[in-house]
Structure 1
Amino acid sequence: MKTHFIAIGGSAMHNLAIALKDKGYHVTGSDDAIFEPSKSRLEKKGILPGEMGWFPEKITSDIDAVILGMHAHQDNPELAKAKELGLKIYSYPEFLYEQSKNKTRVVIAGSHGKTTITSMILHVLNFHQKEVDFMVGAQLEGFDCMVKLSEDHDFMVLEGDEYLSSPIDLRSKFLLYQPNIALLSGIAWDHINVFKTFDDYVEQFRKFVASITAGGVLVYNEEDAEVVKVVENAENYFRKIPYKTPEYEIVNGKVHLKTEMGDVPLSVFGAHNLLNLEGARHICHTLGIMDEDFYEAIMSFKGASKRLERVEREDNGTLYKDFAHAPSKVKAAVKAFCEQFKNEKKYGFLELHTYSSLNPVFLEQYDHAMDGLDEAIVFYSEDALKIKRMEPISPELIKEKFKNENLKVFTNAEELHAYWNTLDKTEGVYLMMSSGNFGGLDLMK
């Protein structure tokens, strides 16, 4: 099968391209910019574009599938050529469905926790040498690629994202998967640039639950009121399995899960991660993994990439990085960090740089998000606001919205880096929350 990727360099797109190459497909692609690690990974597989840019002449009538990434625009010249030739154009999730429509599809959705839950499930299955197809949004230990596609596996585990499918398909990605087994971890307003109201955002999850196949299964977080509301109001027929935070205790800085089989020591921490773990356990149970086998495997799970991930520093200082940027994720990460390091001086850094997080209306959602930290620091770039053509935001407004008068606010990367360099990283513990890089800050030094 001959496939062409428009915007091949994205974190999700390049993994799918590699997976198809490994499956034996003929793969080509284009992009106007490709960064690491996508660049070297595509190059290693021999599918890195020879030059950057869009080339309509690459689009020929013998292409079986054009896969369109979100990074491309509606007026992309390669897209125009594909339409002109009448080629089949897929969004990323639409193509994944095509690859899995004859399999049992397991879709993990929710505003927060979906990457970690998907990662936990895959870790357990891999530990017990149970092979499945999958797509997950983070690099996992023991896995070479974030996408696996085959002809012979019976199951496909998919991380279900509520963001848009492609520039020409404005449906939420997870609405295309039609799950047989689903999980809903939580609902907290995100992507305000697309979903203008909270109800508009919740509507995507209503549609997701409605898309579960007849007689399917939904595992859901019963501690989230919005999730419960969506589940209770669903009109389609499926089996409902609720889950909640399991009992645990922290002994000598290590989390121990309390189970009927005794205490299970874990390598992850935080109540939200234990809630994620419980959801993963229920999904694994539907896939034939008994609790004893689940606990045996989960003890060695060290976390998904950039989800409360320990950074090995040269000075052995205690520093964790977390992908958290949405309010619910920030609150969960801070709470977990404060619980884990009760007796240490705790520094928390948060970078605001998404459209949602820099929107004055949405900033209300961050109230008390940094509470419990001894030193709370928020960074956003005034230059980034200009690039995004957004109105300036004052540090005073940030403090007001966070309801934290002691918040330190930096709007200039150089000033942030200067402050960072004054801190002795061997004193106290550090939590770095961002989907960016704090203006190029080196967390290793």
Structure 2
Amino acid sequence: MRVHFIAIGGAAMHNLAIALHLKGFKVTGSDDAVYEPSKTRLNKHGILPKAEGWHPQNITKDLDAIILGMHARIDNPELLRAQELGLKVYSYPEYVYEQSKDKLRVVVGGSHGKTTITSMVLHVLNYHRKDFDYLVGAQIAGFDNMVKLSGAPIIVIEGDEYLASPIDRRPKFHLYNANIGIISGVAWDHINVFPTFESYKNQFSLFIDTITPNGTLIYCEEDDVLKDLVNLHQFKNKLEKIPYHTPLFEIKSGKTYLKTKQGELGINIFGKHNLMNLNAAKLACEKIGLSNEEFYEAIVSFAGAAKRLELLAQNETSVVYKDFAHSPSKLKATIEAVKEQYPDRKLIACIELYTFSSLNEDFLEEYAGTMNGADIAIVFVDEKTFFQKSLKPFSENKVIKAFSNDKIKFFNQAEKIKGYLESLEIKNTNLLMMSSGIFGGIDLVTLAKSMLKK
């Protein structure tokens, strides 16, 4: 098979390209810019484009498929050439389905927790040496690639609700046709694509209808929006519906223990949102054929998904975490998790607003009250981000009003927030740095270690 990737440098795209290359496909690709780590990883496998840019001569009639990434535009010269030749153009979720339509497909959807649930299922399957394929949205320990496609009978897919491609405006998770579909919760996101909460919620109703007849829907019943959505849904297909909730647990000296039929079980993750994620993963593993005992045996060694409450540094009195939390629901849940885990310590919580949704003035009010659980609450927006995304900057007063918290401290320059953090006394205090961005290039590990040395 000969496959060409338009916009090969994207996180998902380059991982899929590597997966197909390892499967024996002849893979080529193009992009107007390829950044790290994609550049090194593509080069390692010999599929890095020889020159940057779009080259219509790359598109020939003998190609079996074109895979189009979101980074490309609808007037991309290579896309136009492929359409002129009548070649089949796939989005990457479409092509993943093509490669997995004969497998048992587990698709993990939801506004939050997708990567963690997917990572947990992969960890458990890997621990028990099961044969499976996967697609996950972050690099995780024990896996060289974020995508694997082989002859395995099972595939576990993190199902993003963002759009499939510039010419396919369906959310990615609608294209996988899950046998087992998981929804972790519904909290408005992607305002640039779904301008109202109702339009966003509808994507999850549509996802339910993509689950194959006699398939399974696993959903969080503690999410009131999702619970109502499922209860009111007019099911087109006959499905098994399995609700889940927070399992029984106890926190002792900063460590979480699950209360199971086999007794107390110490685990490495914490926070109610992560324990709900764990229950979703357990139910998915049960449907795949693993027992509860096998699940618990494996999950005790799960250290967490990348950038999800990732430990940067610690000493006897303080811990510094980095987390991917950026939406209102994720922000609130992550702050609550750290406070619950360490009730006797103060918490400094810092969020970088980076996504299009978080930088939208109309959406900003969704953050009201989300940082009230922190002792010191900090909001950072790199002033360069507004310029890069062609967005109108908003003021400190706008942020304080939107968060409904007059104690919010606002910064828009990386050096200033770094200096402020370094000035803080951190004894008997934890620090939580949350962003889907890069905090203006601040080296968070170095910052964390220097703060703990004081």
TM-score range, shorter chain: over 0.9
Q: 1:314-371 deviations in whole A, cap 9, x for unaligned?
A: 9996211111111111111111011112122211110001110011111111111111
The one-letter code matched in structure 2 to 1:156 is I
Gaps of 5+ in 2: 447-454
The one-letter code matched in structure 2 to 1:286 is K
Decide whether aligned partners of structure 1 residues 129 and 400 sit closer, same or farther in structure 2, where only a CA change above 3 A counts: same
| C-alpha distance in structure 2 between counterparts of 1:197 and 1:210, whole Å | 21
Give SS of 1:279's match.
Answer: helix
Could you tell me which residue of structure 2 aligns to residue 407 of structure 1?
408
Q: 1:43-72 deviations in whole A, cap 9, x for unaligned?
A: 111111122111111111111111000011
| C-alpha distance in structure 2 between counterparts of 1:422 and 1:174, whole Å | 45
Deviates more, 1:335-344 or 1:279-288: 335-344
Deviates more, 1:286-295 or 1:316-325: 316-325
The one-letter code matched in structure 1 to 2:349 is G
Contact 1:210 1:234 in 2 (8 A): no
The one-letter code matched in structure 1 to 2:179 is N
Could you tell me which residue of structure 2 aligns to residue 286 of structure 1?
287
TM-score scaled to structure 2, two decimals?
0.95
| C-alpha distance in structure 2 between counterparts of 1:348 and 1:194, whole Å | 29
The one-letter code matched in structure 2 to 1:311 is L
Contact 1:114 1:160 in 2 (8 A): yes
The one-letter code matched in structure 2 to 1:105 is R
Matching of residues 17-416 of structure 1 within 5 Å: 17-151=17-151, 153-232=152-231, 233-236=233-236, 237-312=238-313, 318-416=319-417
The one-letter code matched in structure 2 to 1:374 is D
User: Cα RMSD (Å) of the superposition?
Assistant: 1.5
| C-alpha distance in structure 2 between counterparts of 1:314 and 1:24, whole Å | 48
Give SS of 1:131's match.
Answer: coil
TM-score scaled to structure 1, two decimals?
0.97
| C-alpha distance in structure 1 between counterparts of 2:293 and 2:313, whole Å | 32
Give SS of 1:138's match.
Answer: coil
Contact 1:160 1:174 in 2 (8 A): yes
Contact 2:317 2:428 in 1 (8 A): no
Q: How many residues align?
A: 444
Report how far residue 186 of structure 1 moved: 0.2
Report how far residue 173 of structure 1 moved: 0.5
| C-alpha distance in structure 2 between counterparts of 1:405 and 1:227, whole Å | 32
Give SS of 2:47's match.
Answer: coil
The one-letter code matched in structure 2 to 1:41 is R
| C-alpha distance in structure 2 between counterparts of 1:225 and 1:316, whole Å | 37
| C-alpha distance in structure 1 between counterparts of 2:78 and 2:428, whole Å | 54
| C-alpha distance in structure 1 between counterparts of 2:155 and 2:32, whole Å | 31
Give SS of 1:208's match.
Answer: helix
Contact 1:313 1:443 in 2 (8 A): no
Q: 1:275-296 deviations in whole A, cap 9, x for unaligned?
A: 0000100000001110011011
The one-letter code matched in structure 2 to 1:383 is K
